[in-house]
Structure 1
């Protein structure tokens, strides 16, 4: 074959290979109908949603839970955003209102009808937040604090409650000094937004007047002790009806306590048994008590227990029991006596005069002189036959029990 023909064929092969490579590159980088750029952006925005078209949301909202530990209050405050905030990088600027601190930040969208949650960031521990919502009082509003972009505050208009999502609850009922009762009421709202329920057929007390100070706007979450109602001792049981559910305020028995001490006196060391009997405890307002045994010992024991007094003395014992409303106290006295004696050795002889100095007015005395001899006299005189060291013991007995004292004496050579 002619060399020119070979060169011509080589050029054609190179051109054909170039066209195939170009076609492959074009197919590789051409976006298909399911992977266009707009679709990727929309999926990224709606990540974590439940199918809602958040691209149509009119407002992005940051909801901050403010906590004031000094006044034991909290409040939810809403701050609109110009664009979707990033939960990881969002920061609060400005001085918190009324000395409060932020506990939690929630990121929401609001389209005029529906409020949706898109994430949350916990600044405090979640258990701490739950405790605050359960124990602190809810504030209606706080002054706005400057945040990243907005200069104004816009809160969604409270909607209507959904059946089964708003539940009343009764809290502690306390007996007052004048015989009346004060009941605390709260509620649980499972809504993610405020709901409004005016005083009326579905938000009323009976018997008696409908309006007893109950809320008309209910915030999301658990709210114990939202308000209180005071009623006389002879009043019929108070019932709060909310969305066809009822919470009843009962009565609490009066708090009383009495203690038993056995024995109340004796000789050191003295083993004493303590027990208490208290009334006034209910399931939602239990009693708690504390013993003070008078010698620096504090105990929270509920069941009977023993304590040993090592040293003589008079000990004032008290037991304090209390619940959220009231308290009661009972006291007693434990007297611990000393068994003791003195002795005097007659000069120039082996005669020793003994005398009991024991407390508690004993009626019996038993002496062991340490040389095999004993005596039942109150003030015996004993003659030792040999010089030496003797361990002398005295046991006394009477209405306060039995006590023992032991001392070592030395009988010198004659």
Structure 2
């Protein structure tokens, strides 16, 4: 069965003239839109100047700053590559400095170089930055601030010849991440109480204030222990010292929700052990000590004074030899940041000795006399010709002339000693 085929076209058939007309209208619209966009974006773009100086909208010539500042501050970021530290130093100026032409002519901190200069206005209450000058690349400045350690600023009086130096009042709200309390070393006092030192690190480049209260307090006990409420830039190790009783718990300084804790430590003390404390020269003596008060944050160091002109700086055991008889005052001193403690002993060193006298009528007959110190109780003589004696003061007759090495060995409460001498029989 055959079917008839009817020619049917849609409205947007490509073969239709109406389709061509719509397509042309769309293309014209796209061209017009592109032209409008180009017209509105073809103006001059931002000028990225290579000048390293920067002026703030708070410039004195700008209407934003209606009140004339009472003073100007030049704040320089100094960095020390050797010690990997940086610090901020303020240099007040009576005249407004120009960030584009300013050159520092003062005395720089030892070993430091400038990285960046900020120019600030100061009206007695508020600091405003009116310009900046980068001595080195900004990326290098950022690297220094992130990788180096902040140190305390030196007093402007010691590094600048400018007159009228004053410390600006705190300005701005402290950043909790830039203000960190630290606990220093703790000492136990003679009465059993404890003394602890606290400090802080402020990474702000200007003084900030945190009033005594919930954000700046000690606990347990009194909230106000004399801690500062104005915090200067830099590292400050001994900001406040507190004393608390022997039965107290840890003392906490809470500063903007960051805590530093100080606890208890053993008292600084030492005792020494010497063995032997007496004997006959040459005398070998062993020394050791036991000390308390050594903690990681406050280690102890010790020095031995041995009484014969010898000093030894060590805490471990050791031996020392006394060659000559005498009385030696030995002292060991241990010290740390809390102070020092010491212990002492006396070492007595004796000498074994004797004398001899030939008989006036027979020079081969010798009388020996023991002259040792230390009150020995046992005596042994070796006359060098094969004969011996246990007497204290013997008389011995030599059968033949010659030179004989006579030895005396003694012993008693101070140990054993020996003396040997050469005797010539004519």
TM above 0.5, one fold? Answer: yes
Query: Which of 98, 110, 116 is matched with 1:83 structurally?
Result: 98
Question: What is the aligned counterpart of 2:371 among 333, 347, 357?
Answer: 357
**Compared CA separation, residues 117 and 213, structure 1 to 2 (3 A):** farther
The question of 1:310 aligning with 2:336 is answered: no
State the alpha-carbon separation in 2 of the partners of residues 212 and 117 from structure 1.
Answer: 42
Asked if 2 retains the 8 angstrom alpha-carbon contact of 1:63 and 1:79, the reply is no
**Is residue 380 of structure 2 the alignment partner of residue 380 of structure 1?**
no
> Does residue 162 of structure 1 match 2:175?
yes
* Deviation for aligned residue 1:178: 3.8
Deviation at 1:61, TM superposition (A): 0.9
CA distance, structure 2, for counterparts of residue 117 and residue 325 of structure 1: 46
The residue aligned with 1:125 is none
Counterpart for residue 294 of structure 1: 307
Which residue does 1:12 correspond to in 2?
none
1:24-67 CA-partner distances (Å, limit 9, x unpaired): xxxxxxxxx99xxxx79x41334xxxxxx4465746614599xx
3-state DSSP class of the match of 2:51?
Answer: helix
Offset of residue 232 of structure 1: 2.9
Q: What is residue 25 of structure 1 aligned with on the other side? A: none
Rate the CA distance shift 1:361–1:116 in 2: closer, same or farther, 3 A: farther
State the structure with more CA Rg.
2
- 2:302 and 2:313 map into 1 onto residues whose CA distance is 6
* Among candidates 32, 45, 51, match of residue 44 of structure 1: 51
1:254 to 252, 264, 267: 267
Q: Which runs of 5+ in 1 are unaligned?
A: 1-32, 47-52, 66-73, 94-100, 121-129
Distance in 1, matches of 2:386 and 2:369, equals 19
Is the counterpart of residue 392 in structure 1 residue 402 in structure 2?
A: no
Q: What is the TM-score normalised by the length of structure 2?
A: 0.70
> Shift of the alpha carbon at 1:166?
1.1
What is the CA–CA distance in structure 2 between the aligned matches of 1:249 and 1:117, rounded to whole Å?
Answer: 43
Q: Which stretches of structure 1, 4 residues or longer, exceed 6 Å deviation after superposition?
A: none
TM-score (normalised: structure 1): 0.72
Q: Which residue of 1 aligns with 2:209?
A: 196
| CA positional deviation for 1:91 | 2.2
| Residue in 2 that maps onto 1:328 | 341
C-alpha contact (below 8 Å) 2:99/2:133 kept by paired residues: no
Other structure's SS at 1:164 match:
helix
Structure 2 residue ranges without an equivalent (≥5): 1-43, 60-71, 79-86, 122-126, 137-147
Alignment size in residue pairs: 340
C-alpha contact 1:64 1:77 (8 A) present in aligned 2 = no
Contact residue 189 and residue 267 of structure 2 kept, 8 A? no
Cα contact 1:173–1:251 (8 A) shared by 2: yes
Is the 1:365–1:396 Cα contact (8 Å) retained in structure 2?
A: yes
1:273 aligns with 2:286: yes
Deviates further, 234-243 or 254-263:
234-243
Q: Distance in 1 between matches of 2:167 and 2:313?
A: 52
Structure 2 CA distance, aligned partners of 1:371 and 1:144? 85
- 1:39-188 matches, within 5 Å, as 42-46=49-53, 53-54=54-55, 58=59, 61-63=74-76, 77-80=90-93, 82-84=97-99, 90-92=104-106, 103=110, 107-110=117-120, 113=128, 118-119=134-135, 146-147=161-162, 155=168, 157-188=170-201
